């Protein structure tokens, strides 16, 4: 608790993180973007006034070589991780090797797979993991997560943002992906609720909608109120009978569950 570890997270996970001890993991790994990421720093005192320089913080570029081959073999044989790799993961990695061969993307997946496997080991049965990625490799990472986490996929969250950009001959890439998995069927989940869209409420001319929904496995009538004044008048005039509805939701007061699309302004990123 309250400890910062520095080093390769695979080594840290194996040496210091005990089984089923973590409630939640948020993972923002390199994206296999093929780019170098730099930080800008000011030179030491006595340097050129106003000058700035850049140093490379890490290279998000992977190449197939001895290290990647070692991680692939170690994962397949079960000697690389404390957590025994499931057969589905072994079969998937072998299939990917047959499809991708020894390419940079395969090297990236060989880096990610054992670390994700160790993270699953570290999660409590009620724990969850959020894997932040982008379209470069998100579809391959989802296959890895399916093989590691089983049928406990929860959501694919779209992290949507806006910014000014230069002329492009493609659609602007304006989102990242967060893959949300749980370790079991009953994870701890704190529901995020947001207010209803007022603009949508005003479009309901009659003031309410009624429909039939499944409530505890039984079809029951439901009333959704958009304009309480209109509904109160209809009830007063005997045109609407509230007693026939098993559930009544006042949208003017109710909150609604957040969606799987999160929009952030560029200034918030």
Contacts of 235 (CB under 8 A, 6+ apart): 241, 242
The C-alpha angle 140, 144, 147, rounded to 5 degrees, equals: 140
Q: For residue 99, give the H/E element and its range.
A: helix 87-100
Is the predicted pLDDT of residue 31 greater than 80, yes or no?
A: no
Q: For residue 248, give the H/E element and its range.
A: strand 247-250
pLDDT at 34: 58
Q: State the CATH class of domain 9-32+61-193.
A: alpha beta
Residues 52 and 40: beta-carbon distance below 8 Å: yes
What's the pLDDT band for 200 if we cut at 50, 70, 90? low
The C-alpha angle 96, 97, 100, rounded to 5 degrees, equals: 75
What is this structure's pTM? 0.72
What is the arithmetic mean of pLDDT over 176-190? 94
Model pLDDT for residues 4-18, shown as the tens digit of each residue: 898 889 999 999 999
Q: How far apart are CA 181 and CA 160, in angstroms?
A: 20
Q: What percent of the chain has pLDDT over 70?
A: 80
Our measurement of the distance from residue 34's CA atom to the centroid of its chain's CA atoms, rounded to an integer in Å, reads 22
What is the arithmetic mean of pLDDT over 126-155? 94
The residues of the chain that CATH labels 3.40.50.150 are: 9-32+61-193
Residue-averaged pLDDT of the chain = 82
Q: Which of 108, 29, 114, 8 is nearest to 64 (CA)?
A: 108
* Least confident range of 10-24, 46-60, 141-155, 236-250: 46-60
What's the pLDDT band for 48 if we cut at 50, 70, 90? very low
What's the pLDDT band for 171 if we cut at 50, 70, 90? confident
Contacts of 10 (CB under 8 A, 6+ apart): 80, 81, 114, 115, 118
Contacts of 108 (CB under 8 A, 6+ apart): 30, 32, 62, 137
- Choose from 49-63, 142-156, 239-253 the range with maximum mean pLDDT: 142-156
Residues 127 and 183: beta-carbon distance below 8 Å: yes
pLDDT at 54: 40
């Amino acid at each position: 608790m309250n400890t910062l570890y520095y080093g390769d997270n695979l080594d840290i996970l194996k040496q210091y993180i005990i089984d089923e001890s973590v409630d939640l993991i948020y993972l923002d790994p390199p994206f296999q973007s093929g780019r170098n990421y730099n930080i800008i720093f000011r030179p030491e005192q006595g340097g050129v006034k106003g000058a700035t320089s850049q140093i490379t913080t890490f290279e998000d570029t992977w190449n197939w070589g001895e290290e990647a081959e070692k991680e692939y073999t170690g994962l397949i044989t079960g000697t690389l991780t404390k957590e025994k790799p499931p057969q589905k993961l072994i079969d998937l990695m072998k299939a990917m090797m047959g499809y991708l061969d020894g390419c940079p993307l395969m090297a990236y997946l060989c880096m990610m797979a054992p670390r994700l496997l160790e993270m699953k080991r570290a999660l409590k049965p009620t724990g969850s993991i959020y894997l932040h990625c982008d379209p470069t490799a998100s579809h391959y990472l989802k296959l890895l997560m399916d093989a590691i986490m089983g049928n406990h996929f929860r959501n694919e969250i779209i992290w949507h943002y806006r910014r000014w950009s230069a002329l492009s001959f493609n659609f602007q890439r304006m989102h990242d992906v967060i893959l949300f998995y749980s370790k079991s069927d009953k994870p701890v989940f704190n529901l995020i609720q947001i207010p209803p869209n007022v603009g949508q409420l005003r479009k309901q001319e009659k003031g309410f909608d009624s429909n039939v929904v499944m409530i505890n496995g039984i079809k029951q009538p439901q009333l959704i109120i958009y304009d309480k004044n209109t509904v109160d008048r209809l009830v007063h005039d005997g045109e609407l009978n509230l007693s026939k509805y098993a559930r009544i939701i006042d949208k003017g007061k109710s909150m609604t569950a957040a969606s799987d699309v999160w929009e952030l302004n560029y200034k918030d990123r």
